[in-house]
Amino acid sequence: MAISGAAMAQNGNGNGRGNGNGGGDKAQQERGNGNGGGLANRGGGNDNRGGDKGRGNGRVERQADIRIPDVAGDMTRGQDRIERDVRREVQQRVAIDNGVVVLRREANRGLVNGCPPGLAKRDNGCLPPGQVRQLERAQDPYNRYNYLWRTLGGDGDYQYRDGYVYRTTPQGGLLGYLPVLGGILSPGKAWPAQYQYQQPPQYLSQYYGLNDRTQYRYADGVLYRVDPQTSSIGQVAALLTGQQFNVGQRLPAGYDVYNVPYDYRNQYADSAQSQYRYNDGYVYQVDPTTQLVQAVIQLLT
Amino acid sequence: MRTAKTWALAPVMILCLAACGGEADKARDNGAPSSKTLAAAIGDESDLDTLESVIQNAGLSGVLEGKGPYTVFAPANAALGTAGTDLSGEAMRAQSAALLRAHIVPGALTRADIVAAVDQGGGGSVQMRTMADGLLTFSKDGDTVVVTAADGATARLTGEETVASNGVVQPMDGVLVKAG
């Protein structure tokens, strides 16, 4: 119960819920996740995770009992049975409802309005106040590789300058800026004060072997080590897609190929009944026909 | 005791690596991956030297030595060309990182996994999500796997894949971001 409650709190922004799946909704109610406490409950998930260790292959079979009502919405079994299943699921430390904690990529990539601190808005970017400088594209060494920032997606043009990527309209109007990995988000630099982040949830900090998750920050697909006292950025701990998968929803585009980590391939092999896909520390069990996510599996064994 | 057991298994694992290397169906059956990390596997391959320098410049070597797993679609030296030379030094660190993120996908994808997915997919192509939040499309041209990025950049998987301890390196002959 503690884990689930904390998990929901860590999601923080409250979306990704309410997918209309009967079993899933009930699971959330049963788990009592109404605290909405955000960061206040972060320590709650840290109880007996060690119980996962050495559990071996039995997990698949145990899960098979439970996933059917969750996905098919089979309400004929009655609420008590579902609640018992949910309790058992919590005890087994298998996240199976749509409250699974992931580190999410923001839809706009965390684009911040205006200019970074200390810089003033100019026609097509942000420059130090008083600096008289025309942005001469041909002479700017960065501009030759501006095409790389198109990987950020969205409309408009991108330019890189002094650690930030600026997004502009085709006419040059500034839409906002992004602190980027390898730019302002580099080892030794201070975390930009306006740039929002998530702390990794307990499960992912264990999965990635982080000693102290308060020393890590996630933003836009990257998990950074950051000194909590000085906000000084350290090494990059992991890259993530930041994609959300909810039980009962369709698998997002981009997970067509079997990609389960080697150590888990015997345990989670594709079959006519289920497919398995890995993303950001979790394995997702998917119905091959409907492509609906049946279960979310943590990889702590 | 545990260490002793691991060492005792080492010759068996080496034998299996030698015997199973390149047999994709064995890899799918949980054949033993290399004990090398992705970073080491890329470092050991001379035709990926330029990519290695871009990884180091981006500050992402640690990630490719870490837990993962990831699959790195690895442009050969010639494919990176001028970009590989230019993307060096602190001034190009962010660009290096941006380029790499478009070449890394979550999980361990062997070439056999990709081929199987394309063959079973029905439409002749399948997709995977990158760490740059883009989609790579995989298809086949004869026996060759072709990768196409959302912006139209294409590359063909070449050479031998390396199944590392924390993912897979898939060498290829192109870059998955369209220049210009």
Structure confidence at residue B149 as a pLDDT band (50, 70, 90): very high
Give the C-alpha separation, A57 to A267, whole Å: 6
A55-59, A115-119, B68-72: least confidently modelled range: A55-59
Is residue B108 within 8 angstroms of chain A, CB to CB? Answer: yes
Are the Cβ atoms of B60 and A239 closer than 8 angstroms?
A: yes
Is some CB atom of chain A closer than 8 A to the CB atom of B28? Answer: yes
CATH H-level superfamily of B2-172: FAS1 domain (2.30.180.10)
Answer whether A144 touches B (CB < 8 Å): yes
Separation of first and last alpha carbons in chain B: 58
Element (H, E) at B120: helix B111-121
Instruction: Report the residue from A153, A180, A252 with minimal CB separation from B94.
Output: A180
Per-residue DSSP letters for A81-104? Answer: HHHHHHHHHHHTT---STT---PP
Contact criterion met (CB below 8 Å) for A245 and A253: no
- State the pLDDT at residue A100: 61
- Distances from the Cα of A75 to the Cαs of A31, A79, A90, B66, B74, in angstroms? 19, 8, 20, 44, 49
**Strand B70-75 with B167-172, pairing:** parallel
Q: Which residues, numbered 33 to 72 in chain B, qualify as contacts with chain A under a Cβ-Cβ cut-off of 8 Å? A: 33, 58-60, 62-63, 66-71
- Pair type for strands A157-161 and A120-122: unpaired
Q: Hey, is the C-beta of A149 within 8 angstroms of any chain B C-beta? A: yes
Has residue B39 got a pLDDT over 70? yes
Residue A24 clears pLDDT 90, i.e. is over it: no
Q: How far is B150 from chain A (nearest CA, A)?
A: 9
Which band of pLDDT confidence, cut at 50, 70 and 90, is reported for residue A140? Answer: low
Are A21 and A178 in contact by the 8 Å Cβ rule? The answer is no
Per-residue pLDDT, A164: 92
Give the whole-angstrom CA distance, residue A207 versus residue A299.
Answer: 7
Residue B26 binned pLDDT confidence (cut-offs 50, 70, 90): very low
Is residue A237 scored above 70 in pLDDT?
yes
CB < 8 Å to A259, chain B: 71, 105-109, 113, 128
Which H/E stretch holds residue A177? strand A174-179
Residue B30 in this model has a pLDDT that exceeds 90: no
Instruction: State whether residue B134 sits within 8 Å of chain A by CB.
Output: yes
B131: closest CA among B44, B83, B77, B60? Answer: B60
The DSSP call for residue A247 is: T
Q: To the nearest whole percent, how much of chain A has pLDDT over 90?
A: 40
> Which of A153, A238, A252 is the closest to B67 by Cβ?
A238
pLDDT of residue A260 exceeding 90, the answer is yes
CB contact, 8 Å: B131 with chain A? yes
Cα separation, A83 vs A40, in Å, equals 27
Q: Rounded CA gap, A263 and B67, in Å?
A: 12
pLDDT of residue A259: 98
Nearest to B120 by CA among A284, A293, A270, A262: A270
Q: Give SS3 for B111.
A: helix
> Sorting pLDDT into bands at 50, 70 and 90, what band is A161?
confident
According to DSSP H, which parts of chain A are helical?
2-11, 22-30, 58-72, 79-91, 202-207
* Most confidently modeled range among A130-139, A166-175, A243-252: A243-252
Return the structure tokens found at A39. Answer: 């960061």
B111-125: pLDDT as tens digits:
999 999 999 988 899
Residue at token pair 């699971």: A27
Asked if the C-beta of B73 comes within 8 angstroms of chain A's C-beta atoms, the answer is no
- The ipTM is 0.84
CB-count burial class (<10 Å; 0-12, 13-18, 19+) for A103 = buried
Distance from CA of B101 to the nearest CA of A (A): 8
| Helix or strand holding residue B94 (H, E) | helix B93-101
Q: How confident is the model over A162-175, as pLDDT tens digits?
A: 899 988 888 878 88
In chain A, what residues touch B177 (CB-CB under 8 Å)? Answer: 147-148, 150-151
Task: Please compute the mean of the pLDDT values over residues A277-286 and round it to a whole number.
Answer: 97
Which pLDDT score, from 0 to 100, does residue B2 have? 44
Whole-Å CA distances, A214 to A16, A104, A228, A239: 24, 17, 7, 18
Per-residue model confidence as pLDDT tens digits over A73-84: 333 344 454 444
